[in-house]
Structure 1
Amino acid sequence: MLRWLLIVVLALLLFQGLRPWLERMGLGRLPGDVRFRLRGREVWLPLGTTVALSLIAALIGHLI
């Protein structure tokens, strides 16, 4: 369980860093993606984008 939690946190941090690039591709505005301001800082939790990219990766992995 701890391993999965660590993987999810690392994936969210990776998506946070790739946010500008992902937004140009249209990702980041899916249902389930959460944005809010916390103490003057914008926080972005790409939950919907994470699920979509995971499904795409799983399909590619299954085909290979």
Structure 2
Amino acid sequence: MDGLGKILILIGIVLVIVGILWTVIGRLPGDFVFKKGNTTVYFPVMTSIVISIILSLVFFILGKFK
């Protein structure tokens, strides 16, 4: 259970960091917003790429410690 607890804490920390980045980064220039009438469709393409790169780096660094 010790290992499971550490993994859950790590996942929680990663989620908090992603949440903070999501609010700070917000809508980058590569994000697409389509508005028509009462409907708005939002495609966060650039934000997803940035978050993917950050998570890849985090997991790469964590993989070096195993």
- TM score, norm. by length of structure 1: 0.55
Aligned positions of 1:1-64 closer than 5 A: 25-64=23-62
For these two proteins, the number of residue pairs brought into alignment is 43
- Greater than 3 Å deviation, 4+ residue runs: none
Deviation at 1:56, TM superposition (A): 0.5
What is the letter of the counterpart of residue 35 of structure 2? R
Instruction: Kindly indicate whether structure 1 or structure 2 has the higher relative contact order, using CA contacts under 8 Å at least 6 residues apart.
Output: 1
Deviation at 1:39, TM superposition (A): 4.6
**What SS class does the counterpart of residue 43 from structure 2 fall into?**
strand
**What SS class does the counterpart of residue 46 from structure 2 fall into?**
helix
What is the letter of the counterpart of residue 58 of structure 1? S
TM-align CA RMSD? 2.1
Unpaired segments ≥5 residues, structure 1 = 1-20
Unpaired segments ≥5 residues, structure 2 = 1-18
**Counterpart-to-counterpart distance in 2, 1:34 and 1:59:** 25
**What SS class does the counterpart of residue 49 from structure 2 fall into?**
helix
Higher alpha-carbon Rg: 2
